[in-house]
Amino acid sequence: MSQATDTDVSEDGVIDSVSGPVVTAADLDARMNDVVYVGSEGLMGEVIEIEGNVTTIQVYEETSGVSPGEPVENTGEPLSVDLGPGMLDSIYDGVQRPLAVLEDKMGAFLDRGVDAPGIDLERTWEFEPTVAEGDEVRAGDIVGTVPETESIEHKVMVPPDYEGGEVVAADSGNFTVEETVVELDSGEEIQMHQEWPVREARPSVDKQSPTKPLVTGQRVQDGLFPLAKGGTAAIPGPFGSGKTVTQQQLAKWSDADIVVYIGCGERGNEMTEVIDDFPELEDPKTGKPLMSRTCLIANTSNMPVAARESCVYTGITIAEFYRDMGYDVALMADSTSRWAEAMREISSRLEEMPGEEGYPAYLAARLSEFYERAGLFENLNGTEGSVSVVGAVSPPGGDFSEPVTQNTLRIVKTFWALDADLAERRHFPAINWNDSYSLYKEQLDPWFRENVAQDWPEVRQWAVDVLDEESELEEIVQLVGKDALPEDQQLTLEVARYIRESFLQQNALHDVDTFCSPDKSYQILQAIKTFNDEAFEALDAGVPVDEITAIEAAPRLNRIGTTEEYESFIDEIEADMTDELRDLY
Amino acid sequence: MKEYKTITEISGPLVFAEVDEPIGYDEIVEIETPNGDIKRGQVLESSEGIVSIQVFEGTEGIDRKSSVRFLDETMKMPVTEDLLGRVLDGSGNPIDGGPDIVPDERRDIVGAAINPYAREYPEEFIQTGVSGIDGMNTLVRGQKLPIFSGSGLPHNELALQIARQATVPEEDEEAEDDEEGSEFAVIFGAMGITAEEANEFMDDFERTGALERSVVFMNLADDPAVERTVTPRLALTTAEYLAFDKGYHVLVILTDMTNYCEALREIGAAREEVPGRRGYPGYMYTDLAQLYERAGRIKGREGSVTQIPILTMPGDDDTHPIPDLTGYITEGQIMMDRDLNSQGVQPPINVLPSLSRLMDDGIGEGLTRADHGDVSDQMYAAYAEGEDLRDLVNIVGREALSERDNKYLDFADRFEEEFIQQGYDTNRSIDDTLEIGWDLLSTLPKTELNRIDEELIEENYREAEDAETAQVEAE
């Protein structure tokens, strides 16, 4: 978090009362959402209510021992993040303090009153200008590049609130983030470092309809319920249904350029696992460490509640900054329910009139504001970038009718419903195919037709129909047993079983199966369809269904997922299945 | 230190007093009643001119003429290694008649959060000697694994059994060479338990000599409810000191968290706060997280804090706010089951809704045994299937089921009778536990064991003939 230095608008006040994370101060001349330093220890806080002479502040640190009469210092600036090279490969708390730096400064326990800049101010970066003297630049334009990590080239941009002008100096060389790298004739100086208030979306020219999928490498997600680059998705799940694994699979395998992962109010040990694991993982596309395209934000459940409230904003502002450079960013928030609870907690401390289940009445508005910051954008500098948001929801007692889940569903367009029953039956990923949906299907169909297969949408629809029919038939089977069904329906059940077992299920722990390209997904579905077509031919020719389901080649469908050389393997299975079935009549 | 006689209002556990100097939030207060009793309290809200104080020992006997002293510090716990073997009350004062405690240090009881970056991921297996936990829901050092129980269920017996038996297998061997090898400590924090329960615990601690390596904090059912909000913090502060400063592996047992949450609600109501679900305060998630998250390991430090909080679910309902919020913070749960209890299964652990989130990283080759994961998976699946079939048996009767189904039914019965059932005095090694697992799994046809690696089946499956010969021999 940035140490704001400019104090012309500020007028210091004194603490009036203290109650947990909520402090009121008198005589403080501050604007809404200004950052203030509270008490003699200088605890960071934010103004959240102004009433007459009394200003209410939410404090991002523990307030034990703070007493009335201590000073409150206003920085005159809203809660902002430091933007610049060095954010990737970093791990931050909810107000963008780097956890590694905090460990150096105060040891294993998070003490209070310690500030640390979000990006390293000492480190030098190799700057290469992309503009020359005499070039005209405007706000948002890219003026140079910095190799930020092995896989990502950081673009240095004119801050959006600059007027712009003609470049009078631009040199390559090694600079710290605070040194000027480009000077304009308007007198404006451009550094690699920018600040941006977290609660305000970064400006863009235009928001467009997404047309490309965020390829996740997970069959059920890419195949049946695709998410667009720039789209929004929700993963609600009761505890133990594999929510965190699903999020982490996305962070590992999705084809975004940049991943921002927010651990909001989650378990400390779980965050440690992410922190330990991610640096060891390789990016499947480049073979470089996954961390070199990842920014982690970890605010565990016992860290101050106000910082939990702000961590999703910190995350999305960082995501927007990379979007401005023209990158596709995927943001995972685990879990938005904890964020909503933080809002509820602060709201109740403010004695606001509660809405549904004690959540503040503005819950829906805050959620939609946040998800609206996702999208495919035309940036100020003419590039195109996107932010896709995947929010996990933890409904209490697994009840989807609670306010956070319901308000989220009204906004997001993709819904991956995790199911505890499926998880108990060890069907992973436990995404329920009857309850989930994606409203991006039609939008993305042209892309799938062009890049995967012309008949992709039709094949997908066929699979969905079979699964639908299965769930209807299952109800009858429960009453009368499978043998009482007509033969063609028995065969449909068999086909549906293969769709579930070889297509929907995917083993995240298997080296090959953990990632599945869209082409492979398509081929698997095609292979099952081949079985379906040939089997029904055989049935029409009078072959009993028991003989059809007993063929030896079909069970090999279940092994395609774990086979690396899948194309030849599928050809072989298809040929064998066809031979076997045709031999029957 | 100023003394005030300015109490303006006394309401439930709260006292309001006028002050003319700034008083810190969370500061400790002493209130002296006219008959000389001294009660301690804590500042809940501090504003210019007036403070509200929650009184730990209850507000009986306080009148408007009582004097109020502010001690100018927040609540501290005197910590020292000498605390081991001592019994303290819920506010940290010795009640065992022993000498005064000479502290090495006085620590703030509101612990700071551990930086997730400084944590070490827990993966060291703790053998509790209880098959339902070791085999199916393994506990590891640094984990927080609560017991979800109900009124009248033997959760205390289970907690005591764990406290008695918990070891880390490899260190056992070292301990044989080196008498000083034991560096295990138990911290017991009781909140609102009955005197009878307390006696049970104390008798057991004394009988087994466990008291020497324990620190006991006792807030009994007739002690002031408000005191319960500090008891777990005192216990955890002591635990952190012993673990991270002195290198002990500390097991913290907190019972009963439900009473703790009731106390939170009582204070919330007295302060006229806007209530959240079922009247519990909106900040209960954060408050509980601040307790439960004080478990773990830290890079470069010897010790660890492992927590086993016990909570009784009101009406056995696991969607009640207390178990629900707890489940979202802790790394799994051990569920006690009323039906199993009435069948006389000891301990009555129902493994199906139980879970240990850190199990996968704590078991397997080099940690427990190579077959642990597979055996546990297979038993889960088989027991779940047996459970499902029981419903069916009630409708159609056992004869109507296939031979295969009958085998699963038998498996489920024997699983409860032989694997889960062990009594509170039996200490099973992980080998014993897994061998019983194989005995049971071998009653199912080999082809049904689809979750176990084939090599492991070859190695461990007891062929039916062997079993028969064994039986013949036995006869």
Mind listing the pLDDT tens digit for each residue in B213-263? 899 999 999 888 888 999 999 999 999 999 999 999 999 999 989 999 999
**Which residues in chain B have their CB less than 8 angstroms from residue A422's CB?**
none
Least confident of A40-44, A69-73, A474-478, B174-178: B174-178
Query: What pLDDT score does B172 carry?
Result: 46
Instruction: State how far the Cα of B239 lies from the Cα of B246, in Å rounded to an integer.
Output: 10
3-state secondary structure of B230: coil
Average pLDDT in the B341-356 region? 92
Could you state, in order of their start, the residue ranges of all structural domains in chain B? 3-74, 77-361, 372-474
Q: Quick check: B353 contacting A, CB < 8 Å?
A: no
Q: How confident is the model at residue A240 (pLDDT cuts 50, 70, 90)?
A: low
pLDDT in tens, A326-355: 999 999 998 899 999 889 888 887 888 888
Q: Strand B332-336 and strand B147-149: pairing?
A: parallel
3-state secondary structure of A552: coil
Least confident of A141-145, B215-219, B274-278, B380-384: B274-278
Q: Angle between the B321-329 and B257-270 helix axes, to the nearest 10 degrees?
A: 110
Q: Do B384 and A351 touch (CB under 8 A)?
A: no
> Which among A64, A69, A396 is the nearest to B110, CB-wise?
A64
Torsion angle (degrees, nearest 10) of CA A26, A31, A34, A40: -20
Number of CB pairs, chain A paired with chain B, less than 8 A apart: 189
Q: Is the dihedral of CA B339, B345, B346, B347 positive or negative?
A: negative
Least confident of B46-60, B141-155, B415-429: B46-60
**Which residues in chain A have their CB less than 8 angstroms from residue B24's CB?**
18, 64-67
pLDDT of A9 strictly over 70: no
> Which among B116, B142, B328 is the nearest to A394, CB-wise?
B328
Q: How confident is the model at residue A7 (pLDDT cuts 50, 70, 90)?
A: very low
* DSSP structural state of residue B104: S
Q: Quick check: B331 contacting A, CB < 8 Å?
A: yes
Measured between CA atoms, the residue of chain A closest to residue B143 is: A269
Chain A closest CA to B210's CA: distance in Å?
Answer: 29
Higher pLDDT, B275 or A432: A432
**Which residues in chain B have their CB less than 8 angstroms from residue A63's CB?**
25-26
**Beta bridge partners of residue A170, listed in sequence order:** A182
Instruction: State how far the Cα of B243 lies from the Cα of B225, in Å rounded to an integer.
Output: 29
pLDDT of A205 strictly over 50: yes
Measured between CA atoms, the residue of chain B closest to residue A304 is: B286
Q: Do A301 and B46 touch (CB under 8 A)?
A: no
CA proximity to B289, closest of A405, A305, A399, A19: A305
Query: What pLDDT score does A77 carry?
Result: 87
Query: What pLDDT score does A249 carry?
Result: 87
Higher pLDDT, A115 or B122: B122
> Which among B115, B276, B293 is the nearest to A344, CB-wise?
B276
The total number of residues shown for chain B amounts to 475
**DSSP assignments along A388-417, one per residue:** EEEEEE--GGG-TTSHHHHHHHTT-SEE--
> Which among B23, B117, B355 is the nearest to A103, CB-wise?
B117
| Beta strand residue intervals within A8-157, DSSP E | 13-19, 22-26, 34-38, 43-51, 54-59, 71-78, 80-83, 91-92, 124-129, 136-137, 142-147, 153-157
Query: What pLDDT score does B227 carry?
Result: 87
Question: What one-letter code names the amino acid at B46?
Answer: S
Q: Do B46 and A17 touch (CB under 8 A)?
A: yes
**A318 alpha carbon, distance to own chain's centre:** 12
Instruction: State how far the Cα of B46 lies from the Cα of A66, in Å rounded to an integer.
Output: 9
3-state secondary structure of B51: strand
Q: How confident is the model at residue B302 (pLDDT cuts 50, 70, 90)?
A: confident
CATH number of B3-74: 2.40.10.170
Query: What pLDDT score does B468 carry?
Result: 52
Instruction: State how far the Cα of B446 lies from the Cα of B452, in Å rounded to an integer.
Output: 10
The mean predicted confidence, pLDDT, of chain A is 89
Instruction: State how far the Cα of B401 lies from the Cα of B57, in Å rounded to an integer.
Output: 62
Instruction: State how far the Cα of B403 lies from the Cα of B407, in Å rounded to an integer.
Output: 6
Q: How confident is the model at residue A10 (pLDDT cuts 50, 70, 90)?
A: very low
Chain B closest CA to A192's CA: distance in Å?
Answer: 27
> Which among B273, B319, B381 is the nearest to A397, CB-wise?
B319
pLDDT of A237 strictly over 80: no
pLDDT in tens, A495-509: 999 999 899 999 887
Measured between CA atoms, the residue of chain B closest to residue A65 is: B24
Interface with chain A: mutation pick from B136, B241, B286, highest number of A CBs within 10 Å: B286
Question: What one-letter code names the amino acid at B243?
Answer: A
CA proximity to B184, closest of B250, B127, B87: B250
Chain B closest CA to A188's CA: distance in Å?
Answer: 39
Query: What pLDDT score does A358 carry?
Result: 81
pLDDT in tens, B120-148: 999 889 999 999 999 999 999 999 999 99
Instruction: State how far the Cα of A11 lies from the Cα of A47, in Å rounded to an integer.
Output: 13
Helical ranges in A67-210 per DSSP H: 99-106
Instruction: State how far the Cα of A317 lies from the Cα of B82, in Å rounded to an integer.
Output: 51
CA proximity to B423, closest of B178, B132, B4: B132
Stretch (H or E) spanning A13: strand A13-19
User: What domains does chain A contain, in order, with CATH numbers?
Assistant: 11-78 (2.40.30.20), 122-192 (2.40.50.100), 206-440 (3.40.50.300), 456-582 (1.10.1140.10)
User: Please, are residues B133 and B334 in contact by the beta-carbon 8 Å criterion?
Assistant: yes
pLDDT of A193 strictly over 70: yes
Q: Quick check: B47 contacting A, CB < 8 Å?
A: yes
Question: What one-letter code names the amino acid at A124?
Answer: T
**Which residues in chain A have their CB less than 8 angstroms from residue B48's CB?**
16-17, 26, 68-69
Average pLDDT in the A104-123 region? 86
Q: Quick check: B277 contacting A, CB < 8 Å?
A: yes
Q: How many CB atoms lie within 10 A of CB B352?
A: 14
Q: B residues 61-90 near A, CB within 8 Å?
A: 73-74
Instruction: State how far the Cα of A324 lies from the Cα of A18, in Å rounded to an integer.
Output: 41
Q: Is the dihedral of CA A251, A257, A263, A267 positive or negative?
A: positive
Interface with chain B: mutation pick from A67, A399, A424, A483, highest number of B CBs within 10 Å: A67
Q: Quick check: A207 contacting B, CB < 8 Å?
A: no
Measured between CA atoms, the residue of chain A closest to residue B25 is: A65
**Beta bridge partners of residue A431, listed in sequence order:** A418
Average pLDDT in the A156-170 region? 92
- The residue written with tokens 């303006």 in the block is B8
Average pLDDT in the B61-70 region? 89
Predicted structure pTM score: 0.87
Chain A closest CA to B341's CA: distance in Å?
Answer: 24
Q: Do A345 and B282 touch (CB under 8 A)?
A: yes
Q: Does the domain spanning B77-361 belong to CATH 3.40.50.10860?
A: no
Instruction: State how far the Cα of A250 lies from the Cα of A35, in Å rounded to an integer.
Output: 34
**Best-predicted range by mean pLDDT among A559-563, B214-218, B380-384?**
B214-218
**Which residues in chain B have their CB less than 8 angstroms from residue A423's CB?**
none
Measured between CA atoms, the residue of chain B closest to residue A62 is: B112
Q: Quick check: B209 contacting A, CB < 8 Å?
A: no
Query: What pLDDT score does B75 carry?
Result: 87
Q: Please enumerate in sequence order all residues whose Cβ is within 8 A of that of B124, keeping only pairs 6 or more positions apart, or say none.
A: B140, B141, B142, B168, B304, B362, B367
Measured between CA atoms, the residue of chain A closest to residue B74 is: A65
Cis peptide before B52 (omega within 30 of 0): no
Average pLDDT in the B49-68 region? 87
Q: Do B117 and A344 touch (CB under 8 A)?
A: no
**Beta bridge partners of residue B52, listed in sequence order:** B16, B45
Higher pLDDT, A64 or A433: A433
Chain A closest CA to B176's CA: distance in Å?
Answer: 32
pLDDT of A1 strictly over 50: no
- The residue written with tokens 């003319």 in the block is B20
pLDDT of A296 strictly over 70: yes
Measured between CA atoms, the residue of chain A closest to residue B114 is: A109
Q: How many CB atoms lie within 10 A of CB A421?
A: 10
Q: Quick check: B402 contacting A, CB < 8 Å?
A: no
Measured between CA atoms, the residue of chain A closest to residue B244 is: A108
Q: Do B74 and A240 touch (CB under 8 A)?
A: no
Q: Quick check: A40 contacting B, CB < 8 Å?
A: no
ipTM summary value: 0.84
Distance in angstroms between the alpha carbons of the first and the last residue of chain A: 74
Q: Please enumerate in sequence order all residues whose Cβ is within 8 A of that of A398, keeping only pairs 6 or more positions apart, or say none.
A: A238, A239, A420, B319
Higher pLDDT, B61 or A398: B61
| A225: its two tokens | 């319920």
pLDDT of B106 strictly over 70: yes
Q: Quick check: B121 contacting A, CB < 8 Å?
A: yes
Average pLDDT in the B407-427 region? 93
Q: How confident is the model at residue A3 (pLDDT cuts 50, 70, 90)?
A: very low
**Which residues in chain A have their CB less than 8 angstroms from residue B74's CB?**
64-65
Instruction: State how far the Cα of B67 lies from the Cα of B15, in Å rounded to an integer.
Output: 12
Question: What one-letter code names the amino acid at A29?
Answer: D
